[in-house]
């Protein structure tokens, strides 16, 4: 298939492109390199530097490569910033997303895989969260993604778009070549491992902060469901293959097991063999106490099964990547 991947220079997008190329697909990538890295783009993919909101550039890509399907990763994704600058989230994640759908429609391309998020659910009413759980986001990031899920429902019923939306829980880990390197790092596992690297190199650490210690959880810190990024990437490809049968499906993507922030730090200590210092800090705005997924639906409908379900393995692959790339992609 000829596939356009938006955000294909980013963390999850680049690893999905790597898997698509391995499976013999022709891939075009559009990425504005605001968060993504040129080095992360597969040499076999055709790369366009630009915004997915640029309709003219998109039209050129669709016409040049006869795109059959789009996997849409590009987005504003930081929960914290979405609370102070929601406009950016609604423009990029909703308005520019609709522009992309319009260009697809104009070019007769109606297959779409969408990166959504567990943040569309808000505070869990029950756990693990299945697809029937109510969606009441508590941050603008989750709201913008939920809006787009709903827009996709309308594009399905009115224009015959076939789409799958994936609500990611916490993607982590690395492939051999590609890993997590955000310009503004807010995610727990890379911050924990960077702190470990600082300790290993006798550098002053930036200081690992554990946000909140009185959540209603086993040890008072937030609980999350970590999923290996390669398992996640593979699910997108399965979804593309399944799109004719499940043509407007939404799937929760996790491992069905929750780990607290303190447990993540403990496992990272074991894997790195290093002491990882931290201090408690106040809660971060927009953080639900517990987010754990039920991924039964994707397993039963698409036969998805994680190859790397254990958090030890997830953290180990991330540690190996960070150890090889102590300054991320800029080495």
Residue 188 interacting with ligand UDP (CB under 6 A):
yes
Pairing of strands 223-224, 259-260: antiparallel
- Which of 104, 191, 240, 249 contacts ligand UDP by CB under 6 A? 191
Q: Judged by CB, which is closer to ligand UDP: 177, or 182?
A: 182
Residue 65 interacting with ligand UDP (CB under 6 A):
no
What is the number of other CB atoms lying within 10 angstroms of the CB of residue 273?
8
Q: Judged by CB, which is closer to ligand UDP: 54, or 231?
A: 231
Smallest distance from ligand UDP to CB 206, Å: 10
Which tokens sit at 34? Answer: 């605001």
Q: d(Cα 173, Cα 148) in Å, to the nearest integer?
A: 27
**For the window 221-240, what string marks contact with ligand UDP as x by the rule CB under 6 A?**
-x-x----------------
Q: Judged by CB, which is closer to ligand UDP: 107, or 310?
A: 310
Binding piece for ligand UDP, criterion CB under 6 A, among 15-23, 29-37, 206-214, 250-258: 206-214
Residue 287 interacting with ligand UDP (CB under 6 A):
yes
Question: Does residue 168 carry a catalytic annotation?
Answer: no
Query: Where along the sequence are the contacts to ligand UDP (CB under 6 A)?
Result: 79, 170, 186-188, 191, 209-211, 222, 224, 261, 284, 287
Question: Which residues are catalytic, by number?
Answer: 141
């Amino acid at each position: 298939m000829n596939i356009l991947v938006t955000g294909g220079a980013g963390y999850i997008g680049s690893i999905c492109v790597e898997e698509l190329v391995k499976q013999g697909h022709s891939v075009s990538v559009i990425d504005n390199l605001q968060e993504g890295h040129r080095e992360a783009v597969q040499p076999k993919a055709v790369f366009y530097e630009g915004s997915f909101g640029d309709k003219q550039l998109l039209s050129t890509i669709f016409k040049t490569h006869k795109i059959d399907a789009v996997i849409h990763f590009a987005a504003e994704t930081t929960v914290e910033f979405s609370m102070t600058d929601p406009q950016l989230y609604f423009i990029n994640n909703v308005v520019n997303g609709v522009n992309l759908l319009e260009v697809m429609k104009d070019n007769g391309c109606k297959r779409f895989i969408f990166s959504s998020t567990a943040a569309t659910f808000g505070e869990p009413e029950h756990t693990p969260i299945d697809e029937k759980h109510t969606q009441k986001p508590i941050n603008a990031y989750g709201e913008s993604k939920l809006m787009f899920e709903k827009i996709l429902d309308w594009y399905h019923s009115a224009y015959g778009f076939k789409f799958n939306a994936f609500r990611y829980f916490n993607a982590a880990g690395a492939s051999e070549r590609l890993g997590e390197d955000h310009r503004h790092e807010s995610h727990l596992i890379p911050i924990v491992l960077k702190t470990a690297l600082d300790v290993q190199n006798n550098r002053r650490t930036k200081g690992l902060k554990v946000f909140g210690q009185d959540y209603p959880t086993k040890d008072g810190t937030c609980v999350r469901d970590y999923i290996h990024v390669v398992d996640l990437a593979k699910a997108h490809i399965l979804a593309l293959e399944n799109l004719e049968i499940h043509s407007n499906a939404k799937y929760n993507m996790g491992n069905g097991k929750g780990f607290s922030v303190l447990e993540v730090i403990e496992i990272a200590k074991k894997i790195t063999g290093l002491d990882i210092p931290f201090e408690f800090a106040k809660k971060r705005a927009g953080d639900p106490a517990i987010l754990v997924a039920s991924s039964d639906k994707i397993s039963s409908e698409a036969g998805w099964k994680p190859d790397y379900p254990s958090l030890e393995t997830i953290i180990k692959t991330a540690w190996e990547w960070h150890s090889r790339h102590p300054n991320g992609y800029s080495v």
